[in-house]
């Protein structure tokens, strides 16, 4: 899709546990992320709050930061509703909302939402056709003319190719820098490539191994085949090499090295998903510490 890349800044925050926060803490977290100087605030959509309503709350709580619905589930709303919601947010907050669409999981689509789960590339392509053709909702604002402000949240190469053709680019969640390099090769030089890195701040380097392994295990099912292609053998053993590849642990300097590796591999933007043992509490102190190192 021939369109300029959005201005996300170099570093953002993936607020992956946002649905666990009370609403007052959601607003506090959003303003803190903006005040620390991050360029974008990303959040997912699974079984918690509805993505478009959440985006409106976050945009209202902030002044300049880009709010990215990083993984809006295409089974959560029909294409006409998605188009209308995006136009509404673009009209109210020009240039600050980024729509990231996600093809979901069979379990979420069928068991939770009651839909038949279709093949990902064909289903997403049809959904994008319907979004682009949607006749309802407010007209696009003049400053929003041109290609829609959207990306696809993907992992597989066939979905990456679709992201390069039908969106500004792609977002990839929780993969090593080797995958970033492969994704850049598929997307080509012009498409946006945003990646999210799992991080644990642990200056001692010895208090977070179990937490890292827990998150790596949760991430594994969707990434097993890709990790094997990248040379990680016996991925189900969750050996130290694999866990370290998925989860960046250590000091803020250690995290910086991992972020740099993604940029060297071709990423345009890296968001940080700060993992803690208390996911219902915003890690504001960790966000601030990382900002002091990465945004200085």
54-91: pLDDT as tens digits: 999 999 999 999 999 999 999 999 999 999 999 999 99
Mean pLDDT across 92-110: 87
Mean pLDDT across 175-202: 96
To the nearest whole number, what is the mean pLDDT of the chain?
92
Note whether 42 and 14 are within 8 A (CB). Answer: yes
* Residue 135: count of CB within 10 angstroms of its CB: 7
What separation in angstroms does the CA of 240 have from each of 175, 217, 248, 249?
15, 12, 12, 12
The reported pLDDT for the residue numbered 1 is: 46
Note whether 282 and 25 are within 8 A (CB). Answer: yes
* Residue 250: count of CB within 10 angstroms of its CB: 19
Please state the separation of Cα 180 from the chain's center in Å: 14
* Residue 23: count of CB within 10 angstroms of its CB: 11
Q: How confident is the model at residue 9 (pLDDT cuts 50, 70, 90)?
A: very high
The whole-angstrom separation of Cα 208 and Cα 203 is: 10
Q: What are phi and psi of 203, to 5 degrees?
A: -60, -35
Sign of CA dihedral 266, 271, 274, 280: negative
Question: E strand or H helix at 98, and its extent?
Answer: strand 97-102
Mean pLDDT across 170-180: 97
The reported pLDDT for the residue numbered 245 is: 96
Mean pLDDT across 115-128: 89
Q: Is the pLDDT of residue 187 over 70?
A: yes
The reported pLDDT for the residue numbered 2 is: 41
* Residue 126: count of CB within 10 angstroms of its CB: 13
Domains, the chain, in order of start with CATH, read 11-294 (3.20.20.30)
Between 245 and 110, residue with greater pLDDT: 245
Q: Is the pLDDT of residue 111 over 90?
A: no
The whole-angstrom separation of Cα 238 and Cα 211 is: 13
Note whether 211 and 271 are within 8 A (CB). Answer: no
CA angle 64, 70, 71 (to 5 degrees): 155
What separation in angstroms does the CA of 40 have from each of 37, 93, 139?
9, 14, 25
Helices and strands in the chain: count of H runs, count of E runs: 12, 9
Enter the pTM of the model.
0.94
* Residue 144: count of CB within 10 angstroms of its CB: 17
What separation in angstroms does the CA of 75 have from each of 117, 172, 204, 257?
9, 19, 43, 37
Per the DSSP assignment, residues forming a β-bridge with 81 are: none
Q: What are phi and psi of 188, to 5 degrees?
A: 85, 180
């Amino acid at each position: 899709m021939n369109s300029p890349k959005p201005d996300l800044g170099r570093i953002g925050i993936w607020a992956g546990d946002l649905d666990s926060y009370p609403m007052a803490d959601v607003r506090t977290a959003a303003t803190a992320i903006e005040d620390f100087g991050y360029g974008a605030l990303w959040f997912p959509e699974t079984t918690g709050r509805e993505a478009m309503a959440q985006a409106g709350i976050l945009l209202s709580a902030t002044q300049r930061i880009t709010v990215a619905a990083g993984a809006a589930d295409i089974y959560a709303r029909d294409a006409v509703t998605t188009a209308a919601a995006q136009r509404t947010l673009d009209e109210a907050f020009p240039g600050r909302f980024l729509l990231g669409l996600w093809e979901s999981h069979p379990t979420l689509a069928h068991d939770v939402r009651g839909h038949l789960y279709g093949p990902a590339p064909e289903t997403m392509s049809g959904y994008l056709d319907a979004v682009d053709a949607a006749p309802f909702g407010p007209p696009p604002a003049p400053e929003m003319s041109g290609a829609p402000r959207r990306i696809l949240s993907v992992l597989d190469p066939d979905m990456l190719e679709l992201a390069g053709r039908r969106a500004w680019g792609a977002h990839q969640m929780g993969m090593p820098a080797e995958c970033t390099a492969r994704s850049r090769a598929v997307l080509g030089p012009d498409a946006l490539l945003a990646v999210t890195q799992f991080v644990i701040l642990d200056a001692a380097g010895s208090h977070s191994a179990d937490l890292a392994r827990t998150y790596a295990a949760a991430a594994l099912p969707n990434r097993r085949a890709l990790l094997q292609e990248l040379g990680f053998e016996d991925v189900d053993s969750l050996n130290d090499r694999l866990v370290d590849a998925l989860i960046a642990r250590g000091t803020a300097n250690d995290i910086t090295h991992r972020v740099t590796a993604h940029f060297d591999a071709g990423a345009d933007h890296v968001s940080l998903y700060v993992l803690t043992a208390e996911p219902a509490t915003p890690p504001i102190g960790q966000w601030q510490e990382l900002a002091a190192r990465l945004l200085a």
